[in-house]
Chain A
Amino acid sequence: MAETAPVVTLDHVTVAYGRSQVLQDVTTTFASGAVGLLGPNGAGKSTMIKALLGFIVPEQGRMRILGLDVAVASLEIRARVGYMPESDAHIPGMNAVSFVAYCGELAGLPRVDAMQRAHEVLFYVGLGEARYRNVETYSTGMKQRIKLAQALVHDPDLLFLDEPTNGMDPRGRDEMLELVRDLAHHKGVNLVLSSHVLPDVEYACDDVVVLDKGRIKVAGPIAALKQPRGRVYELRVKTPAADLEPFFERLRAAGLECHATDEDVVRVFVPGEGGARDVFALAAAAHVQVRHLRASVPTLEDVFARAVGEE
């Protein structure tokens, strides 16, 4: 596959709120297509997006979006970018279609075109029937959809979606992810999906940038990152979770990574040529009874856990 130019580039970017550095010397790129910006709460994801939009001026470093320097061509960038904020945001006193059309006009669309696009994107995001209702009467899920609609109305080349599935019920969440996936894979819109929900990113995105405590931990295509440089096993053990620590210590001492995913389920990453026998041997040595062991398909969760060092 031909290499395409990155849509977003950060070069030694540091952002601080007062004395607290939220992004620390971040250098990374976001490829075209759908890229997940993954990290725990407080990792600096939203700050990174706000800095890219020009809301926050970094203390140092350079950022480029679609080949344009953020510090120089902020308005030109914003004309080609759509932003779906994390928190509830709307323009008060307007119904949905007026609000979205107004956003289109603000982005430079002629009034008639903005109104036509507003109707189209509202149907696209699933708010066609509710488009004449005041936005303030919308449910949380509908507010998420209207935020996507206002970000889309001017047909951006790049979308920043900040936690787009927050507060949505399972069905609404699936529909939102389907929209995000469709935009990136069928409509030619590049997007950066910021989230702390791993399955969302795994479903909708091709690439991922993992951020933790203001630093990039890992970045690249999800498929490549998930390629096991070893094997992953899922164990179900009889020992109570509270007594598993000695077993974990043995695993770690032997160079195996592990983390508990449920009360009695443990995921173990065996690097190199090792296999299930090594796990059984270590379990026996720790007097842990393994009830069930199966080779597991590596997930983004494994990548994330390894990158962030979560247990």
Chain B
Amino acid sequence: MTPIHDQSYRRYGGGRAPRGRAWAVIAAGGIRTFIGRRMFLGLLLLSWSQFFVRAVQFYAAANLPQILAGDAVAAASFFAPTPATFRDFFDKQDLFVFVVSVYVGAGLIANDRRANALQIYLSKPLTRAEYVFGKLAILMAFLLLITWVPAIMLLIVQILFAGNFTFVRNNFYLFPAVTLFAFIEAGVVSAAMLALSSLSNSSRFVGILYAALMFFSQALFGVLAFVTGDSSLSWIAITHDLAQVGDEIFRLPLRYRTPWPMSFLMIVLLVVVSGLVLERRVRGVEIVA
């Protein structure tokens, strides 16, 4: 008797996607995996808390003068958004950038190395660059979701609550500034984390290593700044380099004495080193000569 459904092996006659899209499959697969974790969803929600606080602040700034009389005008001007408000928003999001980077990024390549998945990936029709780009896209997507998306939303919320375009018209550069800084921050952090992740088979070790590098470089700068009484050595901490470049992008006074091109150079250097590490470590076979 012929079975209703033949469960034997059959040749495939359907279509195939053009090459060069495997990175999107990797990115989508990774994003789906993390979205499926309740703890991570909670973390994402928590990282948006500042957005809600700022939204209330913008609402107050726009509406307090109409609600109350007298001192309320002064209060409204206290709440009124400025370009520094948006720069400050990014500063305060740094904690979540750190936590999400460790949570998502530490295992991106380390777990694949532990499970020997690289030879599975690279036996498929995709290049090493596509693999790295796909993994990079996972972390960058989440970092932009907690930095760029809420910052742009805040600008939109400001327009909605104010009922006019005055603030945005006067500070039109904020849209590109927010976008540029968010992408630089997400790109640099993702590249560095991915490079570290490729160095080990243990995501826990990678997380600890990343945290140690961040805190150690900041602590070293703190000690040197205290001893020398000068902040021009801030380039040794990548977080300070990002802060310097961020201040420049937002047209605010620089917080350290290091010239911003120097900080930018350090960022570029970190990305280049990360690329070299990834080029060396992401291979289908590990050769120990």
Q: Which residues of A contact B (CB under 8 A)?
A: 17-20, 50, 53-56, 75-76, 78-79, 81-83, 85, 87-94, 102-103, 105-110, 113, 117, 120-121, 123-124, 128, 136, 150-152, 154-155, 182-183, 187-188
Contact = CB atoms under 8 A, between A and B. Distances in A.
B70 to A, nearest CB: 59
Interface in B124-138: 124-127
Contacts of B119: 55, 83, 85, 89
Chain A CB within 10 Å — which of B9, B22, B284 has the most? B9
Contacts of B111: 92-93
Contacts of A56: 285, 287
Contacts of A89: 115-117, 119-120
B48 interface: no
B12 interface: yes
B9 A182 contact: yes
Contacts of B17: 108-110
A161 to B, nearest CB: 12
Nearest to B24: A105
Contacts of B248: none
B123 interface: yes
Given A109-B12, A124-B9, A55 B124 contact: no
Nearest to A135: B115
Nearest to B124: A106
Contacts of B287: 17-18, 56
Contacts, number: 125
Query: Secondary structure of the B side of the interface?
Result: loop
Contact of A78 (B12, B26, B125): B125
Nearest to B19: A75
A157 to B, nearest CB: 10
A140 to B, nearest CB: 14
Chain B CB within 10 Å — which of A19, A53, A89 has the most? A89
Given A78-B125, A92-B115, A105-B25, A53 B12 contact: no
Interface of B: 7-12, 14-19, 21-22, 25-26, 29, 33, 107, 111-112, 114-117, 119-127, 283-285, 287, 289
B120 A91 contact: yes
A188 B10 CA distance: 10
A50 B9 contact: no
11 contacts: A17-B287, A53-B123, A56-B285, A89-B119, A89-B120, A90-B115, A90-B116, A94-B33, A108-B22, A113-B14, A155-B12
Nearest to B15: A110
Contacts of A102: 25, 29
Contacts of A92: 107, 111-112, 114-115, 117
Given A90-B117, A93-B33, A53 B284 contact: yes
Nearest to A84: B123
A124 B7 CA distance: 6
A183 B285 contact: no
B100 to A, nearest CB: 17
A10 B113 CA distance: 30
A91 B124 CA distance: 13
Contact of A91 (B117, B284, B289): B117
Given A55-B283, A187-B11, 18 more contacts: A50-B285, A55-B285, A75-B127, A76-B125, A78-B126, A83-B119, A85-B116, A85-B119, A89-B119, A90-B117, A91-B115, A91-B121, A107-B125, A108-B17, A113-B15, A120-B7, A151-B123, A188-B11
B112 A154 contact: no
Pick the 6 closest A-B CB pairs, nearest first: A18-B289, A55-B284, A155-B12, A83-B123, A108-B16, A89-B116
Contact of B125 (A85, A108, A123, A128): A108
Nearest to A101: B29
Contacts of B33: 93-94
A90 to B, nearest CB: 5
Contacts of A17: 287, 289
Nearest to A75: B125
A103 B114 CA distance: 18
B117 A152 contact: no
B12 to A, nearest CB: 4
A42 to B, nearest CB: 15
B12 A85 contact: no
Given A17-B289, A75-B127, A90-B115, A106 B26 contact: yes
